Chain A
Amino acid sequence: AQSVTQLDSQVPVFEEAPVELRCNYSSSVSVYLFWYVQYPNQGLQLLLKYLSGSTLVESINGFEAEFNKSQTSFHLRKPSVHISDTAEYFCAVTVYSSASKIIFGSGTRLSIRP
């Protein structure tokens, strides 16, 4: 079975500061890795994904995540956050062979202070 652990339930940061949201996963088989974002009163949106290839993946709005197989981690980072990044962030995995159900972490609430 697969599981995802998000180590921080809430992360408060000041605007323009860097941020890291931590994610560790457990799986006995190969998985795809994702970060989803849920803005207030909106649905889930895919932020970025790791399928294969380069272990560093980037989103269009400046976030990046690095797949670390030895540490089974997929931490999300942004060098300078903006008020508009305020949201709930979910790390998730799906089994590579079936690419069916997604297993989500419990989420990290990112709050940006001006």
Chain B
Amino acid sequence: DTGVSQDPRHKITKRGQNVTFRCDPISEHNRLYWYRQTLGQGPEFLTYFQNEAQLEKSRLLSDRFSAERPKGSFSTLEIQRTEQGDSAMYLCASSLAGSEQYFGPGTRLTVT
């Protein structure tokens, strides 16, 4: 068990470009969560999956954001037409239903 992994760890992009992040959860975990953390703030919930099903989405998740977990294993988070306000650390976590969430190292996005 290597824990939750995220790729890439850092991403610099120009405003208006699309970006995609990947999260690989702990293998037996059926729940996968995405959070966003901006400088000086705590993480904010974006969305979560149980297996393939996306069960909840925050109102923070605008139409430019889309998340998928097609086979109930890894997940991707795509941001279209990035804006400077999207600059943040994007955190992924996984868990068994009702149990402790384990966090990955995060992907730091910088939009220039």
Contact = CB atoms under 8 A, between A and B. Distances in A.
Interface of A: 4, 6, 9, 42-46, 49, 90, 92, 99-107
Contacts of B45: 101-103
Given A92-B42, A106-B42, A99 B98 contact: yes
6 contacts: A43-B106, A46-B101, A99-B98, A101-B48, A102-B45, A107-B41
A6 B41 CA distance: 11
Contact of A49 (B100, B104, B106): B100
A43 B102 CA distance: 10
Contacts of A90: 42-43
A44 B55 CA distance: 23
A23 B48 CA distance: 26
Interface residues of B, number: 24
Nearest to B58: A101
Contacts of B26: none
Nearest to B50: A100
B40 interface: yes
A43 B105 contact: yes
Nearest to B99: A99
A92 B106 CA distance: 18
Interface string B69-112: 00000000000000000000001010001111101111000000
B33 interface: yes
B42 A107 contact: yes
Q: Which 4 A-B pairs have the closest CB atoms?
A: A104-B42, A101-B45, A44-B103, A99-B98
Contacts of B97: 99
